[in-house]
Amino acid sequence: LGRNKNEQCWVRYEQHKSENVKKRFELAGELQTAIDNDDLELFHQPQINLKTGVVQGSELLLRWNHSDLGYVSPERIIDIAEETGTIHHLTEWVITQGLSQHAKLYRLGFEHTISINLSSKDLTDNGLIAHILTTVAEYVIPPKTIVFELTESATTNDPEMAKSVITELHQQGYKIAIDDFGTGYSNLDYLSQLPFDMLKIDRSFMNLAMSKRNNMITEMTIALGRRLGVSVVAEGVETHEVAEILNNFYCPVAQGYLYAKPMAFIDYMRWLQKKPKQHE
Ligand code: C2E
Ligand code: MG
Ligand code: MG
Ligand code: MG
């Protein structure tokens, strides 16, 4: 009887697994269609200069409101896109849409930066740089206003190829940010060989009011950034108390729900219009 039960369980597990694969396969197809039909959306989350309170840029965050499933998280989208090879197409879409919005803001007088997240798979795409250069030329935007955010793990997949793509982008004048700093593979040796302009402290460290340890790690990361001559962005700032601590550490930039949640482009433009501009 016991064996039978096990077999039943196994059959059920196999069915469950194959359903999962089928679902992922379906979702991948729908993602492809969503890209083609512009059914995806890019939300903006502002980044705030802690000293002046001024908005200095925004990060683009992918959103997909699926007709049946509702909200699909960007992690899930990226995961499926990477697995099925849709990622190059998806990232090109993000770059094209994101830079068109960036150009619109620029023309309105918001000379901010725009931050674009790149997946590890993007750094092994031979066409990535060409797509960036063509799109930037089309919209006539200064490369120094465009930041590419890489997670530490993303840069370790194929270190040599990733390094050459990052170095090339940096040489062309684009800014490079190390996303989720302090998590994943904290390969400081690799980071020491990589050009970058910004460290983003992962939001898991932002319980600064409660954790003495994370307090010290954050302070140390900000000091590291200062010594390296790169900017530091604290991610996931939710309370005034945390912002105050960051300010005491001379953290240059913060991003988080305290200032604003990620917003649809139209809402972000309205939100910006109520804020003081950078050069005022
Ligand atoms: P990330 O790049 O580290 O983005 C920060 C995440 O923290 C975002 O989650 C943002 O909504 C969230 N966040 C910001 N402030 C707060 C806060 O105060 N509290 C809390 N609890 N969360 C906050 P989101 O939008 O779900 O994105 C998750 C991840 O998905 C991103 O992490 C990024 O790695 C990836 N992602 C998003 N859009 C793209 C994209 O266009 N391309 C790629 N390759 N990855 C993307
Ligand atoms: Mg990011
Ligand atoms: Mg991050
Ligand atoms: Mg993250």
- The pick from 72, 117, 149 for probing ligand 1's pocket by mutation, whose C-beta has the most ligand atoms within 8 angstroms, reads 117
What is the pLDDT, as a whole number, of residue 111? 93
What is the pLDDT, as a whole number, of residue 8? 59
- CA-proximal residue: ligand 1, atom 8 (nearest): 61
**Lowest pLDDT segment from 23-27, 177-181, 184-188, 276-280:** 276-280
ipTM here: 0.98
Pairing of strands 253-255, 55-66: unpaired
Q: What is the DSSP string of 246-269?
A: HHHTT--EEESTTT---EEHHHHH
For the chain, what is the radius of gyration of the CA atoms? 21
Torsion (CA) 210, 54, 167, 143 in degrees, nearest 10: 160
What is the pLDDT, as a whole number, of residue 153? 67
Q: What is the DSSP string of the chain?
A: -HHHHHHHHHHHHHHHHHHHHHHHHHHHHHHHHHHHTT-EEEEEEEEEETTT--EEEEEEEEEEEETTTEEE-HHHHHHHHHHHTTHHHHHHHHHHHHHHHHHHHHHTT---EEEEEE-GGGGG-TTHHHHHHHHHHHHT--GGGEEEEEETTGGGSSHHHHHHHHHHHHHTT-EEEEEEETSS---HHHHHTS--SEEEE-GGG--TTT-HHHHHHHHHHHHHHHHHT-EEEEE----HHHHHHHHHTT--EEESTTT---EEHHHHHHHHHTSPPTT-
pLDDT at 275 > cutoff 90: no
pTM: 0.92
What is the pLDDT, as a whole number, of residue 9? 57
Please indicate whether residue 98, judged by its CB atom, sits closer than 6 Å to ligand 1. no
Length of the chain (residues): 280
Residue 130 phi, psi (nearest 5): -60, -45
Q: How far is the CA of 53 from the centre of ligand 3 (A)?
A: 21
Please indicate whether residue 79, judged by its CB atom, sits closer than 6 Å to ligand 1. no
| Mean pLDDT, rounded, for 4-19 | 58
Burial of 266 (0-12, 13-18, 19+ CB in 10 A): exposed
| Mean pLDDT, rounded, for 78-100 | 95
pLDDT at 159 > cutoff 90: no
Tokens standing for residue 219: 């302070």
What is the pLDDT, as a whole number, of residue 14? 59
Please indicate whether residue 73, judged by its CB atom, sits closer than 6 Å to ligand 1. yes
Which tens digit of pLDDT belongs to each residue from 177-197?
Answer: 999 998 876 567 777 888 999
pLDDT: which is higher, 1 or 81: 81
Residue 201 phi, psi (nearest 5): -75, 125
pLDDT at 45 > cutoff 90: yes
**Lowest pLDDT segment from 84-93, 147-156, 188-197, 211-220:** 147-156
Distant-in-sequence, close-in-space partners of 13: CB < 8 Å, separation ≥ 6? none
What is the pLDDT, as a whole number, of residue 199? 95
Predicted confidence band of residue 96 (pLDDT cuts 50, 70, 90): very high
| Mean pLDDT, rounded, for 59-80 | 94
CA distance 22 to 206: 38
Pairing of strands 146-151, 113-118: parallel
| Mean pLDDT, rounded, for 243-267 | 98
| Mean pLDDT, rounded, for 94-111 | 97
Please indicate whether residue 46, judged by its CB atom, sits closer than 6 Å to ligand 1. no
Which ligand 1 atom is the nearest neighbour of the CA of 94? 41
Predicted confidence band of residue 25 (pLDDT cuts 50, 70, 90): confident
Cβ-contact 42, 249 below 8 angstroms: no
What is the pLDDT, as a whole number, of residue 23? 84
- The pick from 61, 79, 94 for probing ligand 1's pocket by mutation, whose C-beta has the most ligand atoms within 8 angstroms, reads 61
| Mean pLDDT, rounded, for 71-78 | 94
Pairing of strands 198-201, 231-235: parallel
Q: How far is the CA of 261 from the centre of ligand 1 (A)?
A: 11
Residue 253 phi, psi (nearest 5): -135, 145
